[in-house]
Amino acid sequence: MRVVVFSTKPHDRDFLPAACAGRHELVFQEAHLRVDTVPLAAGAEAVCLFVHDHADAAILIGLAKLGVKHLALRCAGFNNVDLAAAAKLGLSVARVPAYSPHGVAEHAVALLMTLNRRIHRAYNRVRDGNFALDGLLGFNVHGKTVGIVGTGKIGLCFARILHGFGAKLLAHDLVPNPEAGQLGVEYVALDRLLAESDIISLHCPLTPATHHLIGPAALARMRTGVYLLNTGRGPLVDTAAVIEALKSGKLGALALDVYEEEEGIFYEDLSAAFVPDDLLARLLTFPNVLVTSHQAFFTREALTSIATTTAGNLDDFAAGRACANSLKP
């Protein structure tokens, strides 16, 4: 089966062919799927999409006219796909529901510890011959209160790691996870979590209810000096609001692996140009802000899992089998 892979990066060329093992003809395109790039899918029965590809109704109509029948998402999120339009057009959609809970959770902890112990600053200092400790003071995570918003697979992994640190764990989730309870996690209302946590980590999905979950009102409820981590979805955080909180000292530190306007910036090399987003550029001027480019998932294990699951989803479609990872409106 011919499959056009949009938003191709070098690792896709390594992992996807190995997982497909010659069962599908993969055509790699570096372009994102947009209205103007739909013609690149000509002759394909399926397209393979990533987080920054667009699949709204107009694009899906264009794909259907070209004979595309299946969308294989090599990611967990699917808010970029109009599932109702896909169903109406007879396009099946499948995703990779979970591929790196440990990797994302470990990355969140790495961001926390880098900011807390000023590892990034220490690294640069000693390379310049500066071995002074001034400005590198951190704190023990042991005994601190850590608030976890969202205790699905990633949030649970994060809880397990912080439990090992000896932190007190609070959590907020519409559906409490019994496994989290076994770690001593206490489920509380969001307002209490915000008010009592020294560290807050976001692991919840993006929905209309969670858009800008962390905005002026939420920030006002937090302790002064709180550390905020977001490895979930960019729009969970109101960027303008956290900039004001950083300026006032309300936020002690901010770590982001996602950004609400990351499309066209993250995964791109802009080192010879400039950051075209004024809010992101302002964030990058703070010494207590750490931003990574949506790389929390980026481990060998995760890429293997993504490729293997995507190949399996393609196999199911090609064989006319029901797919456990299919998405419905």
CA 180, CA 160: separation in Å to the nearest integer? 8
Sheet holding 251-256, edge to edge: 186-187, 168-172, 145-149, 199-202, 226-230, 251-256, 289-291
Please determine, looking at this structure, whether the domain spanning 2-99+300-319 carries the CATH number 2.30.110.10: no
Give the pLDDT mean for 155-184: 97
Is residue 238 pLDDT above 90, yes or no?
Answer: yes
Q: Which residue has the tokens 């490895």?
A: 231
Contact between residue 145 and residue 194 where contact means Cβ atoms under 8 Å apart: no
Q: CB–CB of 147/199 below 8 Å?
A: yes
Whether 94 and 325 have beta carbons less than 8 Å apart is answered as yes
Catalytic residue among 262, 268, 300, 321: 262
The secondary structure of 139-208 as a DSSP string is --STT-EEEEE--SHHHHHHHHHHHHHT-EEEEE-SS--HHHHTTTPEE--HHHHHHH-SEEEE-PPP-T
CATH fold of 101-291, please?
Rossmann fold (3.40.50)
| Residues recorded for the chain | 329
What stretches of the chain adopt beta strand conformation (E)? Answer: 2-5, 25-28, 46-49, 70-73, 92-94, 145-149, 168-172, 186-187, 199-202, 226-230, 251-256, 289-291
Give the model's confidence band at 102: pLDDT under 50 very low, under 70 low, under 90 confident, else very high.
very high
Mean pLDDT of 283-294: 97
pLDDT of residue 99: 84
Rounded average pLDDT over 123-139: 97
pLDDT in tens, 6-54: 999 999 999 999 999 999 999 999 999 999 999 999 999 999 999 999 9
Pairing of strands 168-172, 186-187: parallel
Global pTM exceeds 0.85 = yes
| d(C-alpha 277, C-alpha 327), whole Å | 33
Q: Residue range 102-108: average pLDDT?
A: 97
pLDDT for 98: 84
% the chain with pLDDT above 90: 97
Residue where the block lists tokens 């090399």: 269
Question: 61-77 as b/e, with b when 16 or more CB fall inside 10 Å?
Answer: ebbbebebbbbbbbbbe
Give the confidence band of 126 by pLDDT, cuts at 50, 70, 90.
Answer: very high
Contacts of 75 (CB under 8 A, 6+ apart): 49, 50, 51, 95, 96, 306
- Helix, strand, or coil here: 69? coil
The residue among 99 and 63 whose pLDDT is bigger is 63
**Overall average pLDDT of the 177-194 stretch:** 96
The single residue of 45, 74, 233, 260 carrying the catalytic annotation is 233
- Residue 239 confidence (pLDDT): 98
| Region(s) of the chain under CATH 3.40.50.720 | 2-99+300-319, 101-291
The arithmetic mean of pLDDT across residues 162-173, rounded, is 98
Whether 178 shows a pLDDT value over 90: the answer reads: yes
Mean pLDDT of 200-219: 96
| pLDDT mean across residues, the chain | 97
Mean pLDDT, rounded, for 193-217: 97
Could you tell me which residue, 118 or 99, shows the higher pLDDT?
A: 118
Active site residue 244: no
Task: End-to-end CA distance of the chain: give it in Å, rounded.
Answer: 25
Q: What is the mean pLDDT of residues 206-230?
A: 97
Examine the residue annotation and report whether 233 is marked as an active-site residue of this protein: yes
3-state secondary structure of 98: coil
